[in-house]
Amino acid sequence: MFAIFKREIQSFFTSPIAYLVIGLFLVLNGLFLWVFKGDYNIFDYGVADLSKFFLLVPWVFLFLIPAITMKSFSEERKLGTLELLFIKPLTISSTILGKFFGTLVLGIMALIPTFIHIFAIGQMGMTEGNVDMGPVIGSYFGTLFLMSCYTTIGLFASTLTENQIVAFIIGVVLCFLMFYGFEGLSTMMEDGQSALLTQSLGMKFHFDSISLGVLDTRDLLYFISVAAFFLFMTLQQLKNMSR
């Protein structure tokens, strides 16, 4: 697994991919938070907190994570090197986990520079440094779990086709459905209990819950279950291809 992980990290940083992803993520967030007028602008919001940042992050990663993972297995299929992974002294599970952690680390590296927003927000309050760190820490944890799910979904999408663009589109659609699809579906229901149950099937519901600063085991189990499900689907797809 470590060999695959190391190869993924090297492939990211020996090409423009890592720098482009990290740079694009930081620029987009910076522009929407501090420059562009609108719902995400902190100055227009008038409250010195990071809630707008964590409303924006899931949507930015919804596109960036599938863009990173789209080549994970589709490129291997196109180049005919996927079979080589199957005959190496590595299990398919190790290959999947190596690619998973490689992509996740890149996402974490994109998140780390955003800590500067905490300092900036702290300087803007009536009392300098008076930032409620509970929701901030919870939101970063929620973002980490969300990235994990996006990554597993993107890896699964990349096993379905050898065309990277198609893999990207499938990944974005699946991430959108898992993040907001159930939330949107719940708005069409008249029964409040059914609407709440439907909402709880989506990632947005659990991400919003963690963002309040409370790490509920139900939310953690949900994200772990979603990630495990798509890792399992990826494993099954690759096993079928190896036969």
Structure tokens that stand for 71 in this block: 């080549």
Burial class (CB in 10 A: 0-12, 13-18, 19+), 58: buried
Q: Pick from 164, 168, 162, 166: which is nearest to 150 by CA?
A: 168
pLDDT attached to residue 37: 85
List, in order, residues 6 or more apart from 135 with CB less than 8 Å away.
49, 50, 51, 211, 212, 213
Reference 45, options 34, 58, 61, 54; nearest CA is 34
pLDDT of residue 126: 57
C-beta neighbour count of 192 within 10 angstroms: 9
Q: 92 burial class (0-12, 13-18, 19+ CB within 10 angstroms)?
A: middle
Q: What length is written for the chain? A: 243
Contact 95, 87 (CB under 8 A): no
Q: Distance (Å, rounded) from C-alpha 42 to C-alpha 84?
A: 50
pLDDT per residue rounded down to tens, the chain (243 residues): 788 888 888 888 888 888 888 899 999 999 988 888 888 888 877 776 788 889 999 999 999 999 999 988 988 787 777 767 666 677 889 889 999 999 999 999 999 999 988 888 877 755 555 677 888 888 999 999 999 999 999 999 999 999 999 999 999 999 999 999 999 999 888 888 889 999 999 999 999 999 887 788 999 999 999 999 999 999 999 988 876
What's the pLDDT at 212? 81
Letter string b/e over residues 116-134, b meaning 16 or more CB atoms within 10 A of that residue's CB? ebbeebeeeeeeeeebeee
Find all residues with CB under 8 Å of 176, minimum gap 6, and list them.
62
Tell me which residue has tokens 């902190």.
42
Exposure letters 24-35 (e unless 16+ CB within 10 A, then b): ebbebbeebbee
**pLDDT attached to residue 225:** 97
